[in-house]
Structure 1
C-alpha cells in the first residue's frame, strides 16, 4: 500500500495505472465520491454537487486512462451526461438514451441492459475495451459487486459533513465484499483511495 500526501497531479497516470500483476482479461474500475458522513450526493441529488478540484482532476484522469465509460441510465440523466472522448455504455432496462447523450456521434453511445454482468464485462473486452471505467450509480455498483466483476473501487471522500437523507455509494440489497487498500492519497483534506476487490 502507498500513502501519499499532496500528490503531484502529473503523477496521476502512474498512481492510477492498472496493477502490473493484474490477471489476464479486462479490468473493471468503479469511481465514486462521498462526503465524510457517507452522502453520495448533495442537496441537488447530484454527486457533482459534492466534488472538488482534486476529485475532478482524478475523475478526468480516470476517464483518460479508460477505453470505455459505463454508467447507469439514472445517473447519466441526473448528472447531465453529455458525449465524452471515450465511448459510453449506458446501462438501462428501458433501452432509452438519456437526453444529454441523444446527439452523440453514431456509435459513441451504446445502451444495454446489464443482464449477466460477467458476460457484459467479457462483451466489452471483446470490443477491444479492456480498461473499463464505471461511474455508478449506487444501484449499478451494488449489482456489479454482487456479481463479482469489479476489480477496483476508487473512492473520493471530501472533507464535508452535510447530514440529511442522501444515498450512499452502494444502494440495494445487502452485499459484503472485502476490499484491499492499494493506494491512499490526501490533498487538502480530501482522501482518494484505490481499493482492490
Structure 2
C-alpha cells in the first residue's frame, strides 16, 4: 500500500489483514520517521466525556495502537498526557516532553523513562539527579526544541519515532515541521461538548496525503503522510 497512488487507494477491511500484512501497511518509507497516533470521534473530539481518550477507543483502534508501539524504537509523549491518561511504566523507551522537567508519578522508577526539557527548566537539576545525565535530553534554551529533539532521538538509534500527543505537543510538532505522518482512528461516535481536538496551540496549515484507509465495524483507520512539497 505504501507505494500506491491516490487513485489506487481503496477501503480495506482491517479484519482481512493478518499481523504481518498490517505491519507492512504501517511500514515507514524512510528513517528517521516521526509518526503521531490519535483517536477521535467523528465530530472531532480527541477525548470522551471523562476527558480521556481511552473512553472513545475500541478494539480496532487498540490493534493498530499496539502494532505501532511494537514497531517503534521510542515513544514520545507530553507530560500532561502521561499524567492525564495515567501511563503505565513503559515497555520501550519513553521520552516525556516537559518544559518543567518533572517526571509524572505513574512512570517514575522505570529505567526506560527519559525526559526532554530545556536548559532553563526549573526542574532540570532535580530531574538529572533522579534519572541521571544520559536520560535527560536538554534541547533548547527556554523551550523544548522539537527539531533538535527529533535529531537527538535518531542519534541515539531511535529512528522509528512514535508520538501519542497530547494535542498541545502535536500542535507544536506541526508548527516545527517535524511530523512525517499522522495515524488517525475515527470511531463512529458523536460526543459534542467542549472536548479537545487532536491538535492545539498556534494555527498551522499542513497538507496531508492519504496513504491507507482501513475499516472495521464503522471505525476508520487512516494513515496520512505530511506532504513535504504541498505547492500553492
> Over residues 71-111 of structure 1, what are the superposed CA-to-partner deviations in whole Å (9 max), with x where a residue is unaligned?
0000000111012221000000111111110121x2x0001
Q: Does 1:140 align with 2:169?
A: yes
- Larger gyration radius, structure 1 or structure 2: 2
> Over residues 18-56 of structure 1, what are the superposed CA-to-partner deviations in whole Å (9 max), with x where a residue is unaligned?
12xx3xx41000001110001000011111110000100
- CA distance in 1 between counterparts of 2:68 and 2:10 reads 19
Matched with 2:13 is: 6
Matched with 2:158 is: 129
Structure 2 runs not aligned, ≥5 long:
1-5, 118-142, 227-232
1:10-25 alignment runs, 5 A limit: 10=19, 11-19=21-29, 22=30, 25=31
Alignment coverage as a number of residue pairs: 191
- CA distance in 2 between counterparts of 1:175 and 1:50 reads 26
**1:9, distance to aligned residue in structure 2 (A):** 4.2
Matched with 1:49 is: 55
- Structure-1-length-normalised TM-score: 0.93
Q: Could you say which structure has the greater relative contact order, defined with CA pairs below 8 angstroms and 6 or more residues apart?
A: 1
Matched with 2:132 is: none
CA RMSD of aligned residues (A): 1.2
- CA distance in 1 between counterparts of 2:33 and 2:171 reads 17
Correspondence for 1:75 among 45, 69, 81: 81
- CA distance in 1 between counterparts of 2:59 and 2:167 reads 22
Structure 1 runs not aligned, ≥5 long:
none
- CA distance in 2 between counterparts of 1:61 and 1:84 reads 15
- Structure-2-length-normalised TM-score: 0.80
Matched with 1:111 is: 115
Matched with 1:63 is: 69
The answer on whether the counterparts of 1:9 and 1:57 sit within 8 Å (CA) in structure 2 is no
The answer on whether the counterparts of 2:90 and 2:113 sit within 8 Å (CA) in structure 1 is no
Farther off after superposition, 171-180 or 1-10: 1-10
The answer on whether the counterparts of 2:175 and 2:202 sit within 8 Å (CA) in structure 1 is no
- CA distance in 1 between counterparts of 2:153 and 2:12 reads 35
Consecutive aligned runs of 4 or more in structure 1 exceeding 3 Å deviation: none
